[in-house]
Structure 1
Amino acid sequence: MFEQTFKNIDDILHKDAGCTSELDYTEQSSWLLFLKYLAALETDKAVEAALDGKKYKAILDADYRWENWAAPKTPDGKLDHNAALVGPDLIEFVNGKLFPYLHGFKQRATGPDTIEYKIGEIFGEIKNRIQSGYNLREVIDRVDELRFGSQQEKHELSHLYEAKIKNMGNAGRNGGEYYTPRPLIRAMIQVTAPQIGERIYDGAVGSAGFLCEAFDYLSAKPNLSTKDHRTLQTKTFYGKEKKSLAYVIAIMNMILHGIEAPNIVHANTLALHNDDIQEKDRYEIVLANPPFGGKERKEVQQNFPIKTGETAFLFLQHFIKILKAGGRGAIVIKNTFLSNTDNASISLRKLLLESCNLHTVLDCPGGTFQGAGVKTVVLFFVKGAPTRKVWYYQLDPGRNMGKTNPLNDKDMIQFVELQKRFADSAQSWSVDVAAISAKTFDLSVKSPNGGDEVGHRSPQDIMDEIAALDVESAEVLALIRGMVS
């Protein structure tokens, strides 16, 4: 029903000088969708209050409500062209009045877990990029066609929004950063098996795919009480995101999935010193696909016991620390983590094996992450007891993976079923930790059934590591020369 509307919006944005990529289309759609959603939320709250014999106090002042500035209607329900802003007047209002007003909510909000705070945060982080007031009017008219009334409508909108996120990821720039294949996420959730009342955390939240899928998983459980639904809304899903666009997309994605005021914080997770994490800060479940390949500054590395410039390795230390004793983690990471020979990789594998039960390693084939071009594994672990045995599973869908043949839920069925019993098969086997080198803690393992080695490093990986070590050596030499001089 709404698919054509989304396509029309992208077509309009494509011809605007201020929007140059799929990322821009998603960003601009997001803030308008959010305001349209807010109008629907206010209407619902007003009706609920009236049924209870109460008066509803609107979140937004009258001049800034969707039905007054964006889509004023005539008595017969059609757009009132005399009252609707358009052209330069519309741009002037949006940029000069609307955005500053909405940004101000952050200071006026009672706390970060309120919808008011989210309004202020979102409109402090993004700006209107649509340059033509005539294009903006067309987009607003299309967005106004969307409805958030029924669960079916919200469900359809959430699927379309997910498709936009996927397209944005496939478009190139930072592709894998925004989109983790949903079948892989759903399998990770089935293995970690969260329960109502457990808190779920993603410190590299991206588009909030893990949290949205976990919400869908828990919401589908039978016989949920009103208290259970309230717990899911307010005390279950938590995340942090550093980048402004991803933060906005995460908020909108969670809202479309049915979470009114998502507990997503706009912050750099790695800026938190590992020693500052207290028991009250810890979670029962961690699900994440941290960015890999990044290089963190020396001051950020100082927050962690194992110093490394590799972003994903710092995140893994953070996730281990922030899990409660007995907490479960499922983390996507480059497969070369299993075999890298640098000191940081060895130390991190040692930490993982000694402080957690790394019970499962899922080896994903190339092409699982469209556009990312790297092989990955998923680490499944429980914090609090050392690893005795690791179960490996080599995912083999029997076809080349890509945009036309993406990962699907059927591909994951065997993994999920065999993992319950840690069963041996043509694609799975177990390894005792006693057989793993106590010097290198190398976790790359050759399948006893033949096939590729899990975690095997390619010549390019080795060259990249040598280059990284050369850079570190140069930095150390420069530091020594500076101290001598």
Structure 2
Amino acid sequence: MSLEELERHLWQAADILRGHVDAGKFKDYIFALLFYRRLCDVWDEEFEVLLAKTGDREEAADPDEHRFHIPPPHHWNAVRKHATQIGQHLNNAFAAIEDANLRLRGVFGDVDFANQERFPDARLERLLAHFEKHRLRNSDVPPDILGDAYMYLIEQFAEGAGKKGGEFYTPRQLVKLIVECLDPQPGMSIYDPTCGSGGMLLEAVQHLKNRGQDPRSLSLYGQEKELDTWAIAQINLFLHDIDDAFIAKGDTILDPKRYDPRAQEFTPGIGAYDRVMANPPFSQKVWGHEVWTNGDPFGRDVYGAPPRGYGDLAFVQHMIASLKDDGMLGVVVPHGVLFRGGAEGRIREAMLKADIIEAVIGLAPNLFYGAGIPAAVLIIRKAKPAARKRKVLVVNGDATFTPGKAQNHLTDANVRTLADAFRGFAEVERLARAVSVDEIEANGFNLNISRYVQTGADAEAMDVAAEAAKLQDLIAKRDEAEAVMFGHLKRLGYVG
């Protein structure tokens, strides 16, 4: 099958469940069945090759001879022999496969096909019959093609999920922009602390493939809080034929984890990586402020504690702490991080004085699913090249996009324009300028992009941006004063 045919085939499977399963959940069922079908088809393919080579059916079925072991009673073909209680047989198969393969523990998430009202046997029969229209062996569908089709499904589900879609999917072209700027090299370690469906890690792999370099030399790490999304990421990596990526479960801010290769398990703590990239949740209200107020147990609050209602700079500081001394990071942040005052203003000032912010790349509005607000990419490096010290490249990309019906997009040409501006680190009219830290300090350490680079937007729009900046500053000050007041009330015993 071509990629287009495969995408159409998989999307038709989703149509069978549409309207019968909650819109926010039915992707999990489709992903689980797709992965199950792929596992069984590849097992059959491996079995036939081994059987032709050895002539011994027992040896050809040896679990040690297969990438993943499929217990015979729980193979796709065995489940298909059942005409009733199909959902329960699927559940049993998923559990048995996870038990038989340590690397697959939790990969089917909390998918439950046993609810007869939601999944009557007739509907499941139709769904499984649809998946049988095409084999999914490696010889039929190479990993890159199947992986790309899976990414297509993720994007389609994200588009339909609205704001919730942004929780597990970042537009691929934006991911590509970050990877182009960070330019990972063979042998490097890559880390995404809020990895969603794994798109940034996979784009780093693709970056090396595009240059004819060995992507298997990369060491891939991540963490994801939402268990369903963690499962999506695991399947995504496996379908792309990547077995040795290590994705931890848990809250990155409150429970950060690093992989211990000797113990072959995750332990609490902060790792050190060559490249760190992420699209953390914007302005998270509940992120761990009460913990950081008393000092982060992992020592990540080098530049200060963010305010109660805005967790953005907690994620950024986690990423800085996770960076090797010669490493680079790229992180998506809402524009408010660039100009809000209060605690965020003090953190931004400390980071600028430490001279670790290399670039601020402003993005066009309405690039994200369910979120029309503009965002920016911060590029941070602990040890800047000599020519870039005491400077911050400001790139205004608010006019660098391609309009769409529901949302805007970045084309390959748009990505190239922004990435070339970063690499050039020079003035480009109406696009980019290298601004001295002294000039930024004179502006009160405000990084509002339009202060330094204007793209020709009219004066009224500029005034609106300035007023919005003032409003955000006042909100931050109010939140900070509120936190101080609650602290006093707590000490006086008026609040628990």
TM-score range normalised by the length of the shorter chain: 0.7 to 0.9
Please state whether the residue corresponding to 1:149 is helix, strand or coil.
Answer: coil
Please state whether the residue corresponding to 2:368 is helix, strand or coil.
Answer: coil
Which amino acid in structure 2 is aligned with residue 145 of structure 1? K
Between the aligned partners of 1:437 and 1:384, the Cα distance in structure 2 is 20
Provide closer, same or farther for how the CA distance between residues 65 and 479 of structure 1 changes in structure 2, counting only shifts above 3 A.
same
Asked whether the equivalents of residues 340 and 469 of structure 2 are also in contact (C-alpha less than 8 Å), the reply is no
Q: What is the count of residue pairs matched by the alignment?
A: 448
Larger mean Cα displacement after TM superposition, 266-275 or 307-316: 266-275
Please state whether the residue corresponding to 2:492 is helix, strand or coil.
Answer: helix
Between the aligned partners of 2:216 and 2:401, the Cα distance in structure 1 is 43
Between the aligned partners of 1:394 and 1:448, the Cα distance in structure 2 is 6
Between the aligned partners of 2:274 and 2:372, the Cα distance in structure 1 is 32
Paired residue for 1:98, among 90, 93, 97? 93
Between the aligned partners of 1:484 and 1:370, the Cα distance in structure 2 is 39
TM-score by length of 1: 0.82
Please state whether the residue corresponding to 2:162 is helix, strand or coil.
Answer: coil
Larger mean Cα displacement after TM superposition, 437-446 or 201-210: 437-446
Cα RMSD over matched residues? 3.2
Paired residue for 2:128, among 131, 134, 140? 140
**Deviations, residues 226-268 of structure 1 (Å, cap 9, x unaligned):** xx45434xxx211110101211111122223331353222222
**Deviations, residues 32-89 of structure 1 (Å, cap 9, x unaligned):** 111112113323444565577575523122101223214xxxxxxxxxxxxx2234x2
Paired residue for 2:305, among 278, 294, 307? 307
Asked whether the equivalents of residues 174 and 415 of structure 2 are also in contact (C-alpha less than 8 Å), the reply is yes
Extract unaligned runs of 5+ from structure 1.
Answer: 71-83, 106-115
Provide closer, same or farther for how the CA distance between residues 479 and 33 of structure 1 changes in structure 2, counting only shifts above 3 A.
same
Which amino acid in structure 2 is aligned with residue 407 of structure 1? L
Matched, 1:127 2:112: yes
Matched, 1:62 2:61: no
Provide closer, same or farther for how the CA distance between residues 62 and 469 of structure 1 changes in structure 2, counting only shifts above 3 A.
same
Provide closer, same or farther for how the CA distance between residues 288 and 448 of structure 1 changes in structure 2, counting only shifts above 3 A.
closer
Residue 218 of structure 1 deviates from its aligned partner by 1.3
Please state whether the residue corresponding to 2:28 is helix, strand or coil.
Answer: helix
**Deviations, residues 124-182 of structure 1 (Å, cap 9, x unaligned):** 54433653222122222222334242485544433332232223322224232222121
Matched, 1:283 2:281: no
Residue 431 of structure 1 deviates from its aligned partner by 0.6
Write out aligned runs for 1:391-406 (5 A): 391-395=393-397, 396-397=399-400, 400=403, 403=406, 405-406=408-409
Partner of 2:196: 206
Partner of 2:247: 264
Residue 463 of structure 1 deviates from its aligned partner by 6.1
Provide closer, same or farther for how the CA distance between residues 145 and 213 of structure 1 changes in structure 2, counting only shifts above 3 A.
farther
Partner of 1:32: 33
Matched, 1:422 2:421: no
TM-score by length of 2: 0.80
Between the aligned partners of 2:435 and 2:148, the Cα distance in structure 1 is 40
Asked whether the equivalents of residues 109 and 228 of structure 2 are also in contact (C-alpha less than 8 Å), the reply is no
**Deviations, residues 425-479 of structure 1 (Å, cap 9, x unaligned):** 1211111012222895322241355547698544663565356346424532431
Which amino acid in structure 2 is aligned with residue 392 of structure 1? V
Which amino acid in structure 1 is aligned with residue 373 of structure 2? V
Residue 415 of structure 1 deviates from its aligned partner by 1.6
Larger mean Cα displacement after TM superposition, 29-38 or 164-173: 164-173
Amino-acid identity (%): 23
Residue 326 of structure 1 deviates from its aligned partner by 0.7
Which amino acid in structure 2 is aligned with residue 256 of structure 1? L
Between the aligned partners of 2:45 and 2:355, the Cα distance in structure 1 is 46
Provide closer, same or farther for how the CA distance between residues 197 and 354 of structure 1 changes in structure 2, counting only shifts above 3 A.
farther
Write out aligned runs for 1:308-457 (5 A): 308=306, 309=308, 310-343=310-343, 345-355=344-354, 357-384=356-383, 387-395=389-397, 396-397=399-400, 400=403, 403=406, 405-426=408-429, 427-437=431-441, 440-445=444-449, 446-449=451-454, 451=457, 457=468
Asked whether the equivalents of residues 187 and 217 of structure 2 are also in contact (C-alpha less than 8 Å), the reply is yes
Matched, 1:186 2:196: no
Provide closer, same or farther for how the CA distance between residues 85 and 15 of structure 1 changes in structure 2, counting only shifts above 3 A.
farther
Residue 349 of structure 1 deviates from its aligned partner by 1.6
Partner of 1:7: 11
Please state whether the residue corresponding to 1:32 is helix, strand or coil.
Answer: helix
Which amino acid in structure 1 is aligned with residue 209 of structure 2? S
Partner of 1:109: none
Please state whether the residue corresponding to 2:447 is helix, strand or coil.
Answer: coil
Asked whether the equivalents of residues 240 and 265 of structure 1 are also in contact (C-alpha less than 8 Å), the reply is yes
Between the aligned partners of 1:100 and 1:196, the Cα distance in structure 2 is 37
Please state whether the residue corresponding to 2:107 is helix, strand or coil.
Answer: helix
Extract unaligned runs of 5+ from structure 2.
Answer: 64-68, 259-266
Which amino acid in structure 2 is aligned with residue 380 of structure 1? I
Which amino acid in structure 2 is aligned with residue 31 of structure 1? A
Which amino acid in structure 1 is aligned with residue 132 of structure 2? D
